[in-house]
Amino acid sequence: MSTEGADVNPSVTHRSVEVNGVRLHVAEQGEGPLVLLLHGFPESWYSWRHQFGPLAAAGYRVVAPDQRGYARSERPGRPDAYTLLHLVGDVTELIAALGERQAVVVGHDWGAPVAWTTALLRPDLVRGVAGLSVPPTPPPAGMAPPEATRALYGDGFYQVYFQEPGVADAELARDPATTFRRVLYGGSGDNPANARPRPWVVPEGRGVLDLMPDPERLPAWLTEDDIAAFVHDYAGHGDRAFTGPLNWYRNIALNQRLLIPFSGRRVEVPALYVVGDRDMVTSLAGVDALRSSLRRVAPLLHAAVELPGCGHWTQQERPEEVNAALLDFLAAVEKGTAA
């Protein structure tokens, strides 16, 4: 298997870029207006393997970094080096480091809050923004902090479970192949348990992977080569392979405080939202209200797309539908008709 991952057009190139005090690994393909693709937890640039070719063929420069702390990118040691302000700073400087003045920013899972917040804080840099799975959660509310989610779901709620340093870190790093296989299948629309999505709550004395069945057979959208590509991206980091990604969760409460000065701001650039109807995120308290208020938060909303039968891994599970939605949105941004 190629060290750059399976099922990727060989035109995808890889390099490192220094931004905002960290070294980021980036994958890129194509020429034209810049489209930044921001992955989520616990993934890497490879999450966007199905988007590179179609978007590049349509005339866009497609760049997907491994975000701060993930995969092949640098992993700052301090837990508080992973706030949303750091992450928006990374995107801000990455656009400049790529020699561009603006970008359309697309994010999935944790990448979505980074994309939405970049658009909120730096609309001068963002021509359009797309969020997959996670809708915008603007300040002052922001993402619910651990004390709030503990009150709602108990100590076992996965975001609460992730707060204790070293616990989830060791569990996820023990066997990365098992971690990716279970997490990717467990959160997918192919897992029968997600026919009615529900929050991930870890039973006392168990681990988060115990919530995820180990499939006898992988779904059609996920291959053993895909699992191996993710494992390769995380190789060489031992029991800290997932510490950087987990530190994003350990800053949720701090993010809420840091973003208070921006209370009341809206996403004032063209926007797109895409979610699967079997995505666990749709079951979380308050998400229905966030989805119903999309146009208030993002008044230039182009479309809100729900994908039947799709789980959490939106662009991997439904690449054709996601690519169609992205290309329609990008064309509208170019024409100035996105809203």
Which residues are catalytically annotated?
Answer: 109, 312
Per-residue three-class SS string for the chain: CCCCCCCCCCCCEEEEEEECCEEEEEEEECCCCEEEEECCCCCCHHHHCCCHHHHHHCCCEEEEECCCCCCCCCCCCCHHHCCHHHHHHHHHHHHHHCCCCCEEEEEECCHHHHHHHHHHHCCCCEEEEEEECCCCCCCCCCCCCHHHHHHHHCCCEHHHHCCCCCHHHHHHHCCHHHHHHHHHHHCCCCCHHHHCCCCCECCCCCCHHHHCCCCCCCCCCCCHHHHHHHHHHCCCCHHHCCHHHHHHHCCHHHHHHHCHHHCCCCCCCCEEEEEECCCHHHHCCCHHHHHHCHHHHCCCEEEEEEECCCCCCHHHHCHHHHHHHHHHHHHHHHHCCCC
